[in-house]
């Protein structure tokens, strides 16, 4: 039995089932975004009797999606609300975001601990941060608040038990020592922490967050995951002192550091150091991930070896680059035209014909490619919605209208997951929110995904 679907305010019911996807005008963008959002929400079952609010069907083998991707989806839909004004999904978003906070209100629910990474927790924390920044309706007073949730995630990740001396610092991929991948220190886990630190610094004007962001950048750059040319690599293993760098480049790794750097540029009132880093990352991101002006997931798209996780990266790429233009406006002339040309290609993959209404993944083909899923819909929704970025004000702060209540001590009672004094190392696990195990197959550097069958 279905408890409810979605409000009549959703613009994308049967009335637009056959409408052409278009981004020619603001009205077209909103209609197209509504259509894609509606289709994205058809993958969600958490509002049905007997289902768990907040998550997409999964994790494998029960369904395609790991816990983190739902957290990313709610962030996508929060931005959709802000850009379009359509509040049809707000009640669902709020229910979902609050249901998954866990007993300690830190986005570490015990039922996901077997595959809980710092990046997984970080994506939920970034969505909570986004809710605070965009003025998403605050939860009831007795419920955890958006800013406090973001602070809880940050505080747990800043805790000394998450930072050890291997590789001279940095966060590991996984949180519990017993999880496969605990021996991997990767870019996306540290990128989420860096991103949250930069955003919390700007929102609260508390320099401690900025100091952590600086420290995290320095570690990632020092270990070689950010190269001199601003290529951003994936990670390395502690047993090799993180020198066995996996040089696979994924779009969200580059984009998450670009967005965090843009926030640091804003927080530091336009410091030269952060301006140079933003510039370098913008140029590298466009160079590496927008051939011909269309988003392309380099390590896996050519032969369609992308995992379910990777099939959602383009949406974060578009969304984070768009937001970066608000807090570092000097990059807008470079970034916005590329985002538009990429969005034009994206909607060309959407169809209402043979395979039902859906959007594809290989945007450069400019036709439906047979690929469908929540990630593919999220990608197109992020690309289309982000075209409205110039029509909304920059992210809020405590001083510019932000209403979300914080808690500097949030996360202080969180589980450390250190129940055994002897951490073990394990083979990398595939999935979650990073790509970990590519190996060089030839002199030209072809990659093969190494899957361990677990998130």
pLDDT band at 11 (very low <50, low <70, confident <90, very high): very low
Q: What is the pLDDT of residue 15?
A: 37
* pLDDT of the residue at 442: 32
**What pLDDT was estimated at residue 355?**
55
H helix or E strand, kind and range, residue 236: strand 235-237
Average pLDDT (279-301) is 98
Tell whether the model's pLDDT for residue 9 goes beyond 70.
no
Q: How far is CA 271 from CA 264, 266, 320, in A?
A: 9, 8, 20
Which residue carries 């995630």 as its tokens?
153
Q: Indicate the pLDDT class of residue 1, thresholds 50, 70 and 90.
A: very low
The DSSP secondary structure of 367-431, one letter per residue, reads S--S--SHHHHHHHHHHHHGGGGGGSPPPP-TTTT------TTTTTT------SSS--------B
Given a contact cutoff of 8 angstroms between Cβ atoms, the answer to whether 211 and 267 are in contact is no
Given a cut of 90, is residue 366 above it in pLDDT?
Answer: yes
The H-or-E segment that residue 449 falls in is: strand 447-449
- Residue-level pLDDT at 428: 36
Complete domains list, the chain, with CATH: 14-398+428-449 (1.50.10.20)
In 3-state terms the chain splits into helix, strand, coil percentages (rounded to 5) of: 50, 5, 45
Task: Return the minimum-mean-pLDDT range out of 7-11, 41-45, 127-131.
Answer: 7-11
What pLDDT is recorded for position 446? 33
- Give per-residue pLDDT as tens, 377-425: 999 999 999 999 999 999 999 999 999 999 999 998 888 886 554 443 4
Rounded to 5°, the CA angle 425-427-433 comes to: 105
Q: What is the mean pLDDT of residues 372-381?
A: 98
CA angle 177, 183, 184 (to 5 degrees): 125
Q: Provide the pLDDT confidence category of residue 353 given band limits of 50, 70 and 90.
A: low
**What's the CA gap between 79 and 256, in Å, rounded?**
16
pLDDT tens digits along 33-75: 999 999 999 999 999 999 999 999 999 999 999 999 999 999 9
- Cα–Cα distance for residue pair 292/203, rounded to 1 Å: 36
Which tokens is 391 given? 């029509």
Please state the rounded mean pLDDT for residues 126-139.
98
Report the 10 Å Cβ neighbour count for 247. Answer: 18
Work out whether strand 235-237 and strand 184-186 pair parallel, antiparallel, or are unpaired.
antiparallel
H/E element, 147: helix 146-158
Share of the chain above pLDDT 70, in %: 86
pTM: 0.90
The pLDDT of residue 308 is 98
Check pLDDT > 50 for residue 7.
no
Tokens of 281: 């990352």
Burial of 160 (0-12, 13-18, 19+ CB in 10 A): exposed
Residue 429 clears pLDDT 90, i.e. is over it: no
User: Among all chains, which residue has been given the structure tokens 């860096």?
Assistant: 194
Mean pLDDT of the chain: 89
Predicted confidence at residue 413, as pLDDT, reads: 85
Task: Report phi then psi at 42, rounded to 5.
Answer: -70, -15
């Amino acid at each position: 039995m279905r408890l409810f679907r979605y409000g009549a305010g959703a613009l994308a019911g049967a009335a637009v089932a056959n409408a052409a996807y278009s981004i020619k005008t603001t009205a077209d963008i909103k209609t197209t975004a509504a259509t894609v959002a509606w289709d994205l929400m058809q993958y969600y079952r958490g509002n049905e009797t007997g289902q768990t609010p907040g998550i997409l069907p999964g994790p494998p083998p029960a369904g395609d999606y790991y816990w983190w991707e739902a957290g990313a989806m709610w962030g996508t839909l929060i931005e959709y609300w802000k850009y379009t004004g359509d509040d049809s999904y707000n009640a669902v978003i709020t229910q979902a975001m609050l249901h998954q906070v866990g007993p300690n209100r830190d986005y570490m629910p015990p039922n996901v601990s077997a595959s809980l990474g710092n990046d997984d927790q970080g994506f939920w924390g970034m969505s909570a941060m986004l809710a605070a920044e965009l003025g998403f309706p605050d939860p009831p007073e007795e419920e955890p608040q958006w800013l406090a949730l973001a602070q809880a995630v940050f505080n747990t990740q800043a805790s000394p038990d998450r930072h050890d001396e291997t590789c001279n610092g940095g966060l590991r991929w996984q949180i519990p020592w017993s999880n496969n991948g605990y021996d991997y220190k990767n870019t996306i886990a540290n990128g989420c922490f860096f991103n949250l630190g930069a955003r919390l610094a700007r929102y609260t004007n508390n320099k401690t967050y900025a100091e952590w962001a600086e420290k995290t950048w320095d570690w990632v750059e020092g270990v070689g995951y950010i190269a001199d040319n601003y290529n951003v690599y994936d990670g390395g293993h502690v047993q090799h002192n993180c020198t066995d760098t996996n040089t696979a480049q994924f779009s969200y790794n580059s984009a998450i550091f670009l967005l965090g750097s843009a926030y640091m540029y804003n927080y530091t009132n336009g410091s030269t150091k952060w301006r140079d880093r933003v510039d370098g990352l913008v140029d590298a991101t466009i160079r590496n991930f927008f051939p011909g002006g269309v988003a392309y997931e380099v390590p896996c798209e050519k032969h369609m070896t992308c995992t379910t996780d990777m099939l959602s990266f383009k949406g974060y790429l578009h969304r984070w680059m768009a937001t970066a233009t608000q807090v570092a406006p000097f990059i807008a002339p470079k970034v916005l035209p590329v985002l538009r040309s990429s969005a034009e290609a994206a909607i060309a993959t959407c169809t209402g014909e043979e395979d039902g209404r859906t959007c594809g993944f290989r945007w450069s083909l400019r036709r439906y490619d047979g690929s469908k899923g929540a990630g593919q819909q999220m990608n197109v929704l992020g690309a289309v919605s982000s075209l409205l970025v110039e029509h909304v004000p920059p992210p809020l702060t405590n001083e510019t209208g932000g209403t979300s209540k914080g808690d500097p001590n949030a996360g202080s009672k969180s589980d450390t997951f250190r129940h055994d004094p002897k951490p073990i190392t394990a083979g990398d696990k595939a999935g979650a929110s990073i790509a970990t195990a590519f190996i060089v197959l030839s002199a030209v550097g072809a990659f093969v995904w190494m899957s361990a069958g677990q998130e």
